[in-house]
Amino acid sequence: LEAFGNAKTVKNDNSSRFGKFIRINIDVAGYIVGANIETYLLEKSRAIRQAKDERTFHIFYQILAGRGEHVKTDLLLEGFNQYRFLSNGNITIPGQQDKEIFHETMESMKIMGISHEEIMSMLRMVSAVLQFGNIVFRKERNTDQASMPDNTAAQKLCHLLGLNVTEFTRAILMPKIKVGRDYVQKAQTKEQADFAVEALRKALYERLFRSLVHRINRALDRTKRQGASFIGILDIAGFEIFELNSFEQLCINYTNEKLQQ
């Protein structure tokens, strides 16, 4: 969860960008029999942009630093400078080697019982989020309609997700909308196309994070007994004010204020 949910901010090199409530289940004899994690307020906007001198989630840097040739080929990975999404480049964290931590992350996933196929599927989605950031739209001359001059990034993205690139491009640039009982195609502006791609990136990463939490919970709590006692541990990001504050940060700050009351 640290790899997929934590990031470097200007105030913390390993800041949790989500909240979690951990239930440690106890049986009648007082023994720990399992655990369950509930997550809240994942900072999805960090999957599309970062403030100056900050990083996105650790996993993006880990996968690029620790990739082997086989993984690099399968996931269509490139160098840091090839991704527009990593706008601040390869910002390093003192005392932290992303390559070594990537291998630790992979070992941790195996300990949780996550298969090699599942791990590769998750990493494929991480690579897809990176490719989303390389898709560029242009405004066509004499019209507000958006176009995609170069679909190289879209081809790589669709290969990773198993999509048809023509259908994907059409869905972004000329989506179908319902008018009465009929469906018609409506050309999108550059702003609308950019918004759609950003929304897809955030949704994809959030689904990936949720699936990882679900998979971890399966490994942590193998008991089916109901009504057992539990110890609850709440871990949520603290109140912070940045130069540029996301909607998620507003929710985090509001939650902190309510907890303090």
Q: What are the mean pLDDT values of the chain's consecutive 10-residue runs (261 residues total)? A: 91 88 88 90 88 89 85 89 78 83 94 93 96 94 91 96 96 91 91 96 96 93 68 84 78 85 81
- Cα separation, 191 vs 19, in Å, equals 31
- Could you tell me if 190 and 139 are in contact, meaning their C-beta atoms sit under 8 angstroms apart? yes
pLDDT digits (tens, 9 = 90+) for 181-225: 888 999 999 999 999 999 999 999 999 999 999 999 999 876 665
List, in order, residues 6 or more apart from 93 with CB less than 8 Å away.
8, 13, 14, 55
CA distances to 110, 211, 213, 232 from 24, rounded to whole Å, are 22, 20, 15, 6
φ, ψ at 19 (rounded to 5°):
-105, 155
- Cα separation, 44 vs 55, in Å, equals 13
Question: Any idea which residue has 């070594």 for tokens?
Answer: 100
Question: Any idea which residue has 């950031």 for tokens?
Answer: 133
- Count of H-run helices and E-run strands, the chain: 9, 9
Residue 174 CA, distance from chain mean position = 26
φ, ψ at 39 (rounded to 5°):
-115, 150
Q: Taken in order 108, 114, 116, 122, is the CA torsion positive or negative?
A: negative
- Could you tell me if 56 and 85 are in contact, meaning their C-beta atoms sit under 8 angstroms apart? yes
Q: Taken in order 195, 254, 39, 100, is the CA torsion positive or negative?
A: positive
Residue 122 CA, distance from chain mean position = 10
Q: What is the pLDDT of residue 210?
A: 96
The three-class DSSP label of residue 36 is strand
